[in-house]
Each structure stands twice: as C-alpha cells, then as structure tokens.
Structure 1
C-alpha cells in the first residue's frame, strides 16, 4: 500500500501562518496536519504502508526532512516529488509517477477526518465522502441500489446528492490510475483550465471500474484560522485520554490546566490558566495569561494575554489584552 499526498499549494487562505511553513505542517494537537492525515489513513488501511509520496513545491531541506520523518513514523519510506506549476489535481498526482503502482491512497493534505470503517482493499476504487447539509460548494457522488458510484457532480446548484467528496481516494491499481491521468495530459483534456482527477475517475468508471463510497464520521477542514482552531479542538477531544499530552519537560508554576490540552517540550507556563482546547508548542513561554481554544506554536512568548479562538505562529512575542488573534511567525505585538 502506498499513500500519495499532493501538498504543493501555497495555502493563501492561511496566511500569515503559511509565509514560512507550508499549511500541512501547521500543528494540530501537537502534530503537523499532514502527519495526522497519514496516521489516520494508516489506521483504516488493512495492510502495511510501504511508501508515502509527498508532492510539494520547493519548500526547502528542513521541510523535506520533516516529511520523510512523518513517513518513517508509520513504518514507510518517504519520497519527495515536485510540482513545478499548478496545473490541477490530475497533474499533481502524476508528479509522483514512480509511486503510482500497486494499491494507492491519494489524499489531499488540506483536510482531516475521523472514520470507523476498515478500507476494503478488494474494491476497484473507493471515494471517501461525508454527508453535508448544503452540497452546493462541493463535488458530490450519486450511487445506485448496489452502493456503486454512478456519477460525479461538481458543485451542483440543484440537489442531486448530499454525499460530498472529501479529497481522499483509494485505487487498487495504481498503474491504471497513472495511465488514465497521463491520457488527460496527452490529450489536453481540461476542466476550468486544469487537469482534473474527476475527469480520470469518470473515464475509469465508463470503462467498468467499480467505485464505492466510504462514508466518514467527521470531516475536519484546515482551510483558514477559525477552521484550524476548531479542528485542533476536535482532535484534543479525540485524544484526551492519551498519555503524554503534557510533556514531562514542561515547567508549570502556579498554573491551572483545564483539559484537554497539549503542551510541548520545555514549555514554561506560570501564573496562567490554560485550556480547554489549547495546543502549546515546544519552548513556548506563557506568563500571567489566560488561553483557551487556541493554537500557540513553538518558541513563542505570551505575556499578560487573555487569548481565545486564536493562532499564534512560531517566534511570536505578544504582550497585551484579550483578543481574537491570527499572528504569523516572527511577529511582535505589544498593547
């Protein structure tokens, strides 16, 4: 089994937090978004993960080393592939041609999920979906009485289905997928000016490929600050009973912790109230502050703050008052 993770996008909706790191490496409950994604996929697969192929822009050596380590954390080999130009989802996946073989899961790195199923690896293909109240902003699927997908419909303005595609796909035959993607590029078949995976799916279905849906229990977005803070909250609720959410090296002085929280290595917190639903990165300092429902990344200093529903990046210095914040890396703010 291989996992292919396209993540070459700029993450513009998450700026300023994506000015120095790609969005999939923003931490959720102490781990990067993409690590949470890979780990959760590995849990529902019934076979060992042999390779995790990351499709990126030129993010630098440190990011690439971090991604390789994420693959190794699930017992897989990590490989790096580059998308030089944003030409659509089909083009992005094809940038990892060497990984398109055998059984493959393709997972776009801007979404997380929770599921209570085990992947049926004997199916030709599986499209992971979530039932939504308003399907108009999404691509959706239609199914027949045999639970087979009959149609892919992009952003339907009239109701055809409430089963939205979340951006995770399983293919039993990676070589077959590769050939169908290459066919789109060779014949310049585009939708809205880009090479789209959905066109390949439609072609495969018309040739007899049997796609089935896998309905997840929760779909978590990391597209903007508020959505990412909410996703952090939900993950802390999921893992609240795990050991080690407060690092042994963290120093807490005259501080109240309201679980669930994550506190990283060598964090220093004094005269503060932290929680619920707070993630604090390594080497971060809090003094005389109240923090709830927020993400504070590494090497940041927060003094005299009353912070809720906020994200503070790395190497931030903030001294101030109650706020709803979205501060990127290396900012300094004093009230």
Structure 2
C-alpha cells in the first residue's frame, strides 16, 4: 500500500500562519496536520504502508522535506518528495508523483483530518470517502444509485446535485490505471473550471466500468482557515482523550495552575498561575503565565502573559499580553496592549 499526499498549496486562507511554514505542518494537538493524516490512514489501511509520496512546492525547503520523510518513516514507510511547480488542479497535483502511482494506494489531500472506525476494503476497485454537508457548492460531490454505488462526480456544483461532499481521501486498487487516466486529461487538455480535476478522471473511469463505492467517516475535520483549524484541534483533543492517549509531557513545568481537559502540553512547556483549557494545545517550550486560555493553539516557544485568550492561534516564538483576545498571531510577532 502507498499513500499519496498532495500538499503544494500556499494555504492563503491560513495566513499569517502559512507565511513561514506550509499549512500541513501547522500542529493539531502537538503534531503537524499531515502527520496526523498519515498516521490515521496507516491505521485503517490494513496492509503495511511501503511508501508515502509527498507532493510539495519547491520553495518549501530542505528542512520541511526532511520532516516529511521522517513522518513517513514513523509509520514504517519510505518517504519520497516530488514537486508541483504550478497550481494546475488536483489531477495535475497527483500526477506529479507519477513514479509512485502503482499498485494499491490511497490519495489524501493534506488539509483535512477525519475520525473513523473502519478498515479499508482493498477488494473493491475504488473507494471515495464522503460526508453530508449543508452547502455542497464549495466541494466536489458524488451521486449514488439504489445499490449505493457512485454514479457521478461533479466539481463545485452551481445547482444541487448531491449533499455528499468528497472529503479528499480516495482508495484506488490499481495505481497504474489512475496514472493513465490522469495523463489522459493532461494530454487532451481536459479541464473543469480552468484546472485539471481528479473528478474528471474518476468520471472517465466510472464510464469505463470501474465501480466506485462511498466510504463514510464518523467526522470530517477541516483545516482550511483559522477558525476551522481551532475547531479541528478541539475535536481532535476530544478524540485523543477517548483513545486514552497521554497529552501532557512529563518535562512540562506546571505551577499553581489548573488544566481543564482535554489539553495538550508539549515538552518543556511552562505554565504558571494560569488556567489552561479546555481544548488548548501548547507547543514545546511555550510559556504561559498569569493567563486564561481556552479553545486555542499556542505553538512552540510562544509566550502568553497576563491575558485571557480564546478561539485563537498564536504562532511559533510569538508573544501576546494585555486585554482579552480572539487572535490569529503569526510566528515571531509580538502583541502587547
């Protein structure tokens, strides 16, 4: 089994947090989004994962590439890096890793997480994971027949087709077949809304007799903007608490303070005279003093002093103090009021 992870997007909706790091490396409960994604997929695959292929922007840099390879190795797989130099659509992004498109594989776009209780059924030709949504217009959607098989794919429908949104995770039994269909789109300049779309390849495969079935997750967690990411952190902390995972590092120093679970506290974090939680993630070596934090992500080596913070993201090495805030403070910034 292979996992293909397209993640070359700039993450503009997550600025300022993506000015210094790619969006998939923003932490959720102490681990980067993409690491959480790869670990969760590896758990449901059933088979051993032999390779994780990351499709990134060339500007991400050597340090990011090294961290991605380490993520692959943490699930017992080989990590490979390929580049998407132009944002030409989902089909183009996947095809950038064409050397890895062989055998059974999972394609997972790195801006989504999920909660699920299933094992991947490798006996089917393809599985497309979906979730019901109130407004399907921003998503690719599928329609089903009475047998529960997928009969159509529509990218960002302007008129109602279905409320089953594709969450960005796909299983293909035959990676070579997928590669040929993606290449066909590019060779024939077949675009939808100006881009080469994976949904067009899926439609072609379906028309050739491939039977796709929908997969259902318990919960779909989006990381598209600050508020969505803070909410995903909240839900993921609840998920980790249910699994009984240890969330507070032994090296953390907690003095005259209260933690309201679930809370993640990273290595070497310092909490003094504060109330932290619920639903707070503190990165390694974060420093919180005389503060009240809830429903927030505070990243590595950030400082929060004498302030009430909620529904917020505070970047790496940033510092904040003063009046109550709903913040989105980027790396190395300082805010004192």
> What is the CA deviation profile of residues 260-297 of structure 1, one whole-angstrom value per residue up to 9, with x for unaligned ones?
00000000110111000000000111111110000000
What CA distance in whole angstroms lies between the structure 1 residues aligned with 2:246 and 2:204?
48
Q: Which moved more, 1:311-320 or 1:9-18?
A: 311-320
TM-score normalised per structure 1? 0.98
- Which secondary structure does the structure 1 equivalent of 2:312 belong to? strand
What CA distance in whole angstroms lies between the structure 2 residues aligned with 1:243 and 1:44?
18
What CA distance in whole angstroms lies between the structure 1 residues aligned with 2:151 and 2:321?
56
Matching residue of 1:21: 21
Matching residue of 2:252: 250
Matching residue of 1:36: 36
**TM-superposed deviation, 1:216:** 1.2
- Which secondary structure does the structure 2 equivalent of 1:298 belong to? coil
What CA distance in whole angstroms lies between the structure 1 residues aligned with 2:239 and 2:69?
26
**TM-superposed deviation, 1:253:** 0.7
> What is the CA deviation profile of residues 136-168 of structure 1, one whole-angstrom value per residue up to 9, with x for unaligned ones?
332211111222111112333443322111111
Matching residue of 1:133: 134
Matching residue of 1:316: 318
**TM-superposed deviation, 1:98:** 1.2
Matching residue of 2:56: 56
1:5-20 matched pairs, under 5 angstroms? 5-20=5-20
> What is the CA deviation profile of residues 212-260 of structure 1, one whole-angstrom value per residue up to 9, with x for unaligned ones?
1001111111011110000000000011153431100000111111110
1:259-270 matched pairs, under 5 angstroms? 259-270=261-272
TM-score normalised per structure 2? 0.97
Matching residue of 2:222: 221
What CA distance in whole angstroms lies between the structure 1 residues aligned with 2:219 and 2:327?
26
What CA distance in whole angstroms lies between the structure 2 residues aligned with 1:134 and 1:128?
17
What CA distance in whole angstroms lies between the structure 2 residues aligned with 1:155 and 1:55?
23
What CA distance in whole angstroms lies between the structure 1 residues aligned with 2:173 and 2:6?
19
> What is the CA deviation profile of residues 82-111 of structure 1, one whole-angstrom value per residue up to 9, with x for unaligned ones?
011111111110110111000010011111
* Distance verdict in 2 for CA 1:30–1:117, change over 3 Å: same
Matched, 1:277 2:241: no
Q: Which runs of 5+ in 1 are unaligned?
A: none
Q: Which moved more, 1:179-188 or 1:258-267?
A: 179-188
Matching residue of 1:89: 90
- Which secondary structure does the structure 2 equivalent of 1:240 belong to? helix
- Which secondary structure does the structure 1 equivalent of 2:69 belong to? helix
What CA distance in whole angstroms lies between the structure 2 residues aligned with 1:25 and 1:156?
30
- Which secondary structure does the structure 2 equivalent of 1:283 belong to? coil
1:287-298 matched pairs, under 5 angstroms? 287-298=289-300
**TM-superposed deviation, 1:202:** 0.8
Q: Which runs of 5+ in 2 are unaligned?
A: none
**TM-superposed deviation, 1:43:** 1.5
